[in-house]
Amino acid sequence: MKKILLLAFLIVATSFQVKAQCPVSGWASTNGVTGGGTATPTVVTTYAELRTAVNSTAVKVIHVSGQITFPAAGRLTLNNQIGKSIIGLAGARLISVDLTAGGSGILYVKNSSNIIIKNITFEGPGAYDVDGNDNMTIDNCTSVWVDHCTFQDALDGNLDIKNASDLITVTWTKFEYLKAPIPGGSGGSNDHRFSNLFGSGDDATQDEGKLRITMQYCWWGPGVRERMPRVRYGKVHLLNNYFNSSVSNYCIYAGYKADLLIERNYFENVKNPIRLETGNFTAAQSVDNTFSGASGTMVGSGTAFTPPYTINKIASQDVKQTVMAGAGAVLLQPTDCLFLATGEVNSKNNSASLFYPNPASEQISLKVFSKDNNKPVQISVTDFSGKSEGVVYNGTLSKGENTINAISIKKLSKGVKLFLVKTDDDSYTQKVIVK
């Protein structure tokens, strides 16, 4: 009997395709980003080990294992380095609980080039406006790729890019605030859940001609109020991203001399998807975006730059399911490129997402791509903690669309989030998420 295994993030799946080097896209691809390449990884499990590895120019690849809580004023700085990768193993999380202006923040990347940051959750203490540090800041760096990370609950920004940084790509990354904002900060805002600032001020003239940034398959999710991103000066390509924060004041902000190409994104139930700074921005061109239940300003202005690179694109109506299925620190192995590792996602090929409530009350559709009809199929489940849910379905599936009544699927534990992994012959790539 063939088995299809539903896995959570922390379980290693041998059916995943392994690649030595994932391809970078967007602005960072124009100069290439390899990070530390194939150097032997240094695995770190403690703050002290991580600090030593980050500071060492001899360490080219860092694998972060497990959760590491930073001490007070523990923010790390990667400074004046060339060619380095910091990659999380499954479940890697860096946590700061520091609420002070000077001691806050997790990682500061400065004066460096050819850097990869991948598959790490950066968790801050919650938004508190004391003019503190970001979960991660990229300062005066070139050729940086941030991929499959989750940035949440920063004291200040989740991920800011500034000071003539250039040729940056951010892919498959999630931004969110899950903790309530903390009022009373000296900065004056009682709700500083402002996620991404590109360019620190109108007077930062060193940014002119820099801040060329691509963001693709990113997700601005729960709790984000503003700056998704807010841009000054930069030529920023926002492609195939998903915006669904229910507390948004605005999403994308075209500020001083910003040149934005806003292409094939999906805005759902947000306010002011595109905000324009009157008289100051260069362009904020809106191309083939989907606005579902959005309100306020949704119209771009001007003609943006033409990207000098080629990049795979999906239709805006396919963005929601694609991004929700794969964005964030969800990779199971450090060599994975995508959660299903099927190459660049094509939403019309063998991957899709499906959501159903718990207890399930809807029909579930599975698509079979193998040539063998009516094969017996057994679907079993393992949740985040490693607890087995047992066999949830026994039956047959035939080539093409198959409909399974949810009533025939065993009830799953509340809140289990599951992914249907490819079988060995690539017959099934459907993902199922239980809410």
Q: What are phi and psi of 285, to 5 degrees?
A: -80, 125
Spatial separation of the C-alpha atoms in residues 232 and 51, rounded to whole Å: 32
At 212 the pLDDT is 98
* Of the candidates 179, 80, 99, the residue with the CA atom closest to the CA atom of residue 139: 80
Q: What is the pLDDT of residues 312-357, one digit of tens each?
A: 999 999 999 889 988 999 888 888 887 643 333 333 233 333 333 3
If DSSP codes are grouped into helix, strand and coil, which group holds residue 384?
coil
Q: What is the pLDDT of residues 255-273, one digit of tens each?
A: 999 999 999 999 999 999 9
At 29 the pLDDT is 97
Spatial separation of the C-alpha atoms in residues 85 and 54, rounded to whole Å: 10
Beta bridge partner(s), residue 274: 252
* Of the candidates 149, 136, 135, 72, the residue with the CA atom closest to the CA atom of residue 110: 136
Q: What one-character DSSP code corresponds to residue 11?
A: S
Proportion of the chain above pLDDT 90, given as a percent: 69
In this prediction the pTM is 0.78
**The two structure tokens encoding residue 237:** 């390509």
| Half-sphere exposure of residue 207: CA atoms within 13 angstroms, side-chain side | 27
Ranges assigned E (strand) in 235-351: 235-239, 242-243, 252-254, 259-263, 266-268, 274-276, 283-287, 290-292
Mean pLDDT, to the nearest integer, of 383-400?
58
Q: What is the pLDDT of residues 122-167, one digit of tens each?
A: 999 999 999 999 999 999 999 999 999 999 999 999 999 999 999 9
Spatial separation of the C-alpha atoms in residues 44 and 27, rounded to whole Å: 30
Q: CB–CB of 422/11 below 8 Å?
A: no
Ranges assigned E (strand) in 217-368: 219-220, 230-231, 235-239, 242-243, 252-254, 259-263, 266-268, 274-276, 283-287, 290-292, 352-356, 363-368
Is the domain spanning 17-326 CATH 2.30.30.40? The answer is no
Q: Between 242 and 370, whose confidence is greater?
A: 242
Q: CB–CB of 337/415 below 8 Å?
A: no
Q: Between 395 and 304, whose confidence is greater?
A: 304
Q: What are phi and psi of 54, to 5 degrees?
A: -65, -40
Q: Between 376 and 183, whose confidence is greater?
A: 183
Name the amino acid, one letter, at 393.
Answer: Y
CA 326, 329, 333, 334 dihedral sign is: positive
Q: Is residue 426 very low, low, confident or very high in pLDDT (cuts 50, 70, 90)?
A: very low
DSSP assignments along 179-202, one per residue = SPPBP--TTS-S---B--EESS-T
At 208 the pLDDT is 97
At 398 the pLDDT is 61
Q: Is residue 280 very low, low, confident or very high in pLDDT (cuts 50, 70, 90)?
A: very high
Q: Between 55 and 434, whose confidence is greater?
A: 55
Q: In the predicted model, is pLDDT for residue 397 greater than 70?
A: no
At 291 the pLDDT is 98
* Strand order, beta sheet including 113-118: 42-44, 61-64, 82-88, 113-118, 142-147, 166-171, 213-216, 235-239, 259-263, 283-287
If DSSP codes are grouped into helix, strand and coil, which group holds residue 402?
strand
Q: What one-character DSSP code corresponds to residue 321?
A: H
At 358 the pLDDT is 38
Spatial separation of the C-alpha atoms in residues 13 and 19, rounded to whole Å: 14
How many residues does the structure list for the chain?
435
